[in-house]
Structures are given as structure tokens and as C-alpha cells.
């Protein structure tokens, strides 16, 4: 992918582990601002009925931060921060993936019945999206040049 090495993306992607109350009647996981989610949630959406073989995402955000959670089924999140790439397989509702700004994401390999929950730090703003990968890489380079190092937030 654009000559970028498969390597850990540091500071831009954080796996999260949520606690659960386990009960014979069913498990419960509660998510709280600051304790579990490091930003005030301004938007919640979920992907479902995604046909097997379909891909979602294919963009980055200029400011928005988000947490992705597989509420049901499984999918893979492919990530690129302009310096490295990595993939995360999500299949457990007690695990999430925190994505900082300026991370290109593609969500692939949805299982039948998968539900992807997204908790977002901002309300929907089409101007926050970077939908062209070359433009994304240009903005990462510009951000790095202006700040000396890649910035996560």
C-alpha cells in the first residue's frame, strides 16, 4: 500500500478493553466518558446488514476521533497513518479500537450479521472527511512538517 511498511502505528490507534458484568441472564458492558471513552461522544452510528465481501470506510478524518466496536459478528479494520499500516480483527463487544485523527481506515471482511458500532467525538461534518488517499498522505506530511512529528490530536 503506497510503499508503507506493515508496522505498528503508535499514538494513533489504541486497542481498548471494556469491563463487563457477567450474568447467567446475559452480559452487560457500560461505557462511560473519561473512564472508558477518552472523549465526549457527540455522535453514535452503527453499520449493519453489510454484505459479506463489502468494504466500508475508505477515508480519514481531519479532527474526528472515534471508537469502533464489534457488537456482533466480526470484521477487520485496516489502518494507515502515513508512516505505517496495521490491521485489527474485531469480534468481541468487550473490545474497542480508538482511532485518532488523520488515520486512514478501511473496514473489511464483515461476517454475516456483523454490527460495527462507532462512537464519534464530533457531529457529522462532510468537510472533516478526507476521501482521497493521496490527499490524506499530503495532509499527514503537511501536519508532520508543521509540527515536527505526526500529531494524534
Q: In the chain, what are the helix, strand and coil shares in percent, each to the nearest 5?
A: 10, 40, 50
Alpha-carbon span 51 to 116, nearest angstrom: 13
Under CATH, which number does the domain 13-17+33-144 receive?
2.60.120.10
pLDDT in tens, 13-42: 999 999 999 999 999 999 999 999 999 999
pLDDT in tens, 59-110: 999 999 999 999 999 999 999 999 899 999 999 999 999 999 999 999 999 9
Domain ranges of the chain: 13-17+33-144
The kind and range of the H/E element at 76 are strand 75-80
Catalytic one among 59, 61, 88, 112? 59
Checking if the pLDDT of 128 tops 60, the result is: yes
State the pLDDT at residue 11: 80
Whether 88 is catalytic is no
Amino acid at each position: 500500500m503506497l510503499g508503507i511498511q506493515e508496522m505498528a502505528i503508535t499514538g494513533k490507534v489504541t486497542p481498548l478493553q471494556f469491563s463487563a458484568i457477567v450474568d447467567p441472564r446475559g452480559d452487560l458492558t457500560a461505557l462511560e466518558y473519561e473512564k472508558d471513552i477518552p472523549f465526549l461522544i457527540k455522535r453514535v452510528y452503527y453499520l449493519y446488514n453489510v454484505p459479506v465481501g463489502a468494504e466500508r470506510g475508505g477515508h480519514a478524518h481531519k479532527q474526528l476521533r472515534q471508537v469502533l466496536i464489534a457488537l456482533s459478528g466480526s470484521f477487520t479494520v485496516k489502518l494507515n497513518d502515513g508512516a505505517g499500516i496495521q490491521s485489527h480483527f474485531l469480534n468481541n463487544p468487550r473490545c474497542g479500537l480508538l482511532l485518532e485523527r488523520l488515520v486512514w481506515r478501511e473496514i473489511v471482511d464483515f461476517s454475516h450479521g456483523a454490527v460495527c458500532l462507532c462512537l464519534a467525538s464530533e457531529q457529522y461534518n462532510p468537510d472533516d472527511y478526507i476521501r482521497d488517499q493521496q490527499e490524506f498522505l499530503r495532509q499527514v506530511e503537511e501536519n508532520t512538517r508543521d509540527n515536527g512529528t505526526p500529531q494524534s490530536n
